[in-house]
Structure 1
């Protein structure tokens, strides 16, 4: 049985914590999972399920996220990367496998650029490498509602800005994903002391996806209907990483980790254990539910 523990750390005067699900006999390096600006250490059960049988699984409330202390004013990437390096050192691991989704993809990429010798393999999903003005404007409106105390309007606008709502495009678990994202945003707005600042940083302190990378096996994946950064733009970003692979996951949008969670987790586990990806379920269209006459085509 995998043993779970929580470790508290501090970087540059900011306290934070990470969660370790330890495998008694791992077959690959520890796998650190990073998510979006408002995601914390307890939101990755699918990764526990797929990565837990082969590796130590690490999730975190990084500075400014979840239950951690807030980030100091100013650019945050140096602090976040220093926090992750401290986690690697605390694990006693020479190298780790690193998974980053959405905002977490930017943090993971920045870490790989700063200390490549500590990263064994890199998986980046839903990479916000080129966010369009309409999305930024929608999130700014959402942030304005939040600053005015209207948490419900904030949660709705934020969720709408992160998902593909075009009913002409089939997205697996669309309604479920929308409800989940909206609820998560609402709970963060109501109960997280960092919600406003975390959203502001995700909008204005965006990671730099330039500069390229080499020497680290890297997989970049996108939902085929991602409206935050189009798959073609994510493919162009992947091309700046030497020897990387880019995959498009059908029937999903930006929130592919919610719409096809097990498939993404299995794809990641395969990559971290050097298994072939060609037959991964994530590359096969999702099974579409039967629907009665008159039901919408996209659910």
Structure 2
């Protein structure tokens, strides 16, 4: 491996180097302070909507201490090669083949969101090639609500409803109830929304393939044995803190740090808080128990984090109507209402279609819902948030109801 020694953020937009492994081109850029650097390199594996350009600040932060490689596997980032036949496990094996082809020392992968599953599988399947592992935004997708939301996004894209897909995806990535805490600007949210609304047909196909891989993934039968650090955004609803902590608990040698005032994009929202843990981790020195903006969770707490991430309160007006696109209509009682989901009670048919439902509750505009599970006459549901106006109205009511509940607690 010959590293570039002239790093500047604008270079991340340069044409990548390419390694051809059979039919699969792998795109990469590699930087260090020394062109012939034999130290263990950091390997960046990004999420669904991230390119090399997303990581300019991270590369600058890491370069004084580590060589850094940015890698796009087929269908990732700037690598436009479609690969519907490849599973997550096979993509993880391509990382190992990449390391072998370039005769790299053991790697230190940083896996973010979609990249976290790939990085973790690489560590499990090729432990001799993985020195340390850092994960954020764990995407094992064992939680039914998360799977249901991802499936709905695929259905919307298949129907050509890109605008509705983009609105729902934005709400998954950026928790709109916690914008004051996370500090995400309106400008950034609008830019991310536009990016997702302007997906090309090829971009849509890549997203569909990557998402299907996640949904087809049966879960981790084995977990990494190398030193592992898991960073969890405090307000991440898409991949929740308890899921991060549970993954860390299953690893042989793992720590989990809670990043305060962060959500699914915590590494970009709270850069210094994240760096205060990954700096010592990647250098193999002791992690702090806490630092400004982050707290390391005790090992005996990892399996005991609260799973309910948002308040669910009974609305003042519990009466509502459940409507289906095919014409059915039922009176329901809204037992619990939150921003991300709720609980209804009603005499509903035994078999419910998976899509096409709307809830009319109180003064709120009609809300698209996805049935999640049944328990007698109780129906748990999630909101896909594909309508911005309805989502804003629901958020306002939930915040107001939560304030009342706190005031009278």
After superposition, where does 1:6-21 map in structure 2 within 5 Å? 6-21=16-31
The question of 1:274 aligning with 2:277 is answered no
What root-mean-square deviation, in Å, do the aligned CA atoms of Structure 1 and Structure 2 show? Answer: 2.9
- How many Å separate the matches in 1 of 2:86 and 2:202? 24
Structure with the higher strand share, 1 or 2: 2
Contact in 2 for aligned 1:218/1:243 (Cα 8 Å): yes
Q: Which residue does 2:6 correspond to in 1? A: 3
- Superposed CA offset, 1:190-211 (max 9, x none): 6736444345335523472332
Change (3 A) 1:247 1:27: farther
Contact in 1 for aligned 2:29/2:70 (Cα 8 Å): yes
* Structure 1 stretch displaced more, 38-47 or 234-243: 38-47
1:107 partner SS:
helix
- Superposed CA offset, 1:125-155 (max 9, x none): 1112355333333333333332333333222
Offset of 1:63 from its aligned partner?
Answer: 0.8
Unaligned 5+ segments in structure 2 are 8-13, 296-398, 400-409
After superposition, where does 1:60-209 map in structure 2 within 5 Å? 60-167=71-178, 170-173=181-184, 175=186, 178-189=189-200, 192=203, 194-201=205-212, 203-206=214-217, 208-209=219-220
- How many Å separate the matches in 2 of 1:258 and 1:198? 26
Change (3 A) 1:184 1:33: farther
Contact in 1 for aligned 2:170/2:193 (Cα 8 Å): yes
* Structure 1 stretch displaced more, 14-23 or 138-147: 138-147
Return the TM-score normalized by structure 2. 0.62
2:176 partner SS:
coil
| Structure with the greater alpha carbon radius of gyration | 2
Unaligned 5+ segments in structure 1 are 285-295
Structure with more contact order per residue of length (Cα contacts < 8 Å, sep ≥ 6) = 1
Change (3 A) 1:195 1:71: closer
Work out the number of aligned pairs and report it: 284
Return the TM-score normalized by structure 1. 0.82
Aligned structure 1 segments of 4 or more residues deviating by more than 6 angstroms: none
Contact in 2 for aligned 1:189/1:195 (Cα 8 Å): no
